[in-house]
Amino acid sequence: MSKKFLSIENLTLIGIVFGVLLGYYIPEIAVSIKFLGDAFLNILKAIAIPLIFASVFVSIATLSSISDLKNIGGKAIAYYFTTTALAVLTGIIVVNIIGFGSENINPKTVNETVHHKFTIKSFIESLVPDNIFKSFTEGKVLQIIIFSILLAVATLYLEKTKKQTVVLFIDGLNDALIKIARWIITLTPIGVFSLVAYVVADKGLGTILSLWHYVVVVVIGLLIHAVFNLGLIAYIFGKINPLKYFLQVREALLVAFSTSSSSATLPVSLEVAEEKAKIKKKVAGFVLPLGATINMDGTALYESVAAMFVAHLYGIDLSLGEQIIIFLTATLAAVGAAGIPSAGLVTMTLVFTAVGLPLEGIAVILAVDRFLDMLRTSINVWGDLIGAKIIDRFVKEQ
Ligand code: ASP
């Protein structure tokens, strides 16, 4: 077999297919090899946190000026918000056009409730670190990013030798972490195989069928956003062929799919962005870590569809005004969601509370959440990678 065929990307794809088959036909074995997937996920998570710190630091500390930071930062934030809003809008339009059909689920019989509640106040409080070491050990990504930006900006003001020492050290650390990421990537096919096999064995494909109307609407919405919206944006603003770019970065999308975590995927996203797509380190190092935490198109779209689905189940008619509230809160809730599995489910309480939907409605969609999480996380990462490519075009090499 040719070497090209046996690339990591293709082996990963094969891993997913065999994972589904194993999980479906021999679930006992799928469960017993879960530790392989867990080990893969853990090592990715282990390097993700220091990598987020180092890459954000390096990308800012190597900029020539603060106005350069404003330039990249401003563009990134503008991109995140427009694409997230576009995603929610797509979700709402798809629901209004396709609708949900008639599900035979009686929400009153479900009495599981979601306990955590997400509010804007708690989100803003969570941005400020009180002990930076605690932020690291607890994996508080936004706090780490804020600290890293502060430290990098402060470093820009240091006298030359001190500045060089700090930057060289953290830059070296960053390169070494990327090297580890490259090693871990060679293990992706096995990790992905085990993770997917376990999800299928644990959740079963049957649950997906029971909520298929809802699943289909989410999937169609995600596909439209990924292919048309983001594809067109990449073509127009990034002057790239989205299909070619997709093939270059697909390893990151496959890892996102199987881990359901944008943060755990970050080491792989950074590697493919810099090595395969040749995006400048200072752009990728800033746009991707920040994007992995605040830019979640898939999550935003999913949350709006989920809210409208639950309203539909409870026989609640949503007015245009309420749909606008869903639009606004789903955008915010996606920004607030951490890049970890099921985070969107927690921040969705914000959307539900805003339009007065019963929180226990979330329990109905729990059954298919993991599967939809895999898809929305891939779209989240795809949105980050397109953003990095577009912004790269506008930032000059020094
Ligand atoms: N799992 C998603 C992510 O990491 C967040 C979510 O639950 O929607 O991007």
What percent of the chain stands above pLDDT 90?
Answer: 55
Q: Note whether residue 74 is domain-resident.
A: yes
Which amino acid makes up residue 53? Answer: F
Does 269 contact ligand 1 (Cβ within 6 A)?
no
CB 252 within 8 A of CB 389: no
* Most confident range, picked from 42-56, 137-151, 340-354, 377-391: 377-391
Does 384 contact ligand 1 (Cβ within 6 A)?
no
Q: Note whether residue 29 is domain-resident.
A: yes
Q: Note whether residue 259 is domain-resident.
A: yes
Q: What is the CATH number of the domain that holds 161?
A: 1.10.3860.10
Q: How close are the terminal C-alpha atoms of the chain, in Å?
A: 43
50, HSE (Cβ side, Cα atoms, 13 Å): 15
Give residue-wise pLDDT tens across range 112-124.
444 456 777 777 8
Q: Note whether residue 220 is domain-resident.
A: yes
Q: How far is the CA of 281 from the centre of ligand 1 (A)?
A: 25
| pLDDT beyond 90 at 4 | no
Q: How far is the CA of 346 from the centre of ligand 1 (A)?
A: 10
Atom of ligand 1 nearest to the CA of 376: 8
Range scoring the smallest mean pLDDT among 55-59, 63-67, 366-370: 63-67
Domain tally for the chain? 1
Does 337 contact ligand 1 (Cβ within 6 A)?
yes
Q: What is the mean pLDDT of residues 49-65?
A: 86
pTM (predicted TM-score) = 0.86
Atom of ligand 1 nearest to the CA of 299: 8
Range of the domain at 344: 8-394
Distances in Å between the Cα of 171 and the Cα atoms of 98, 163, 291 are 50, 12, 20
Q: Note whether residue 43 is domain-resident.
A: yes
Give percent helix, percent strand, percent coil of the chain, each to the nearest 5: 80, 0, 20
Q: How far is the CA of 34 from the centre of ligand 1 (A)?
A: 21
Q: Note whether residue 1 is domain-resident.
A: no
Rounded CA gap, 229 and 60, in Å? 30
Atom of ligand 1 nearest to the CA of 340: 4
Q: Note whether residue 3 is domain-resident.
A: no
Question: What single-letter DSSP state applies at residue 341?
Answer: T
Question: What single-letter DSSP state applies at residue 319?
Answer: P
Pocket test for ligand 1, best of 340, 350, 365, 372 (most atoms within 8 A of CB): 340
Does 342 contact ligand 1 (Cβ within 6 A)?
yes
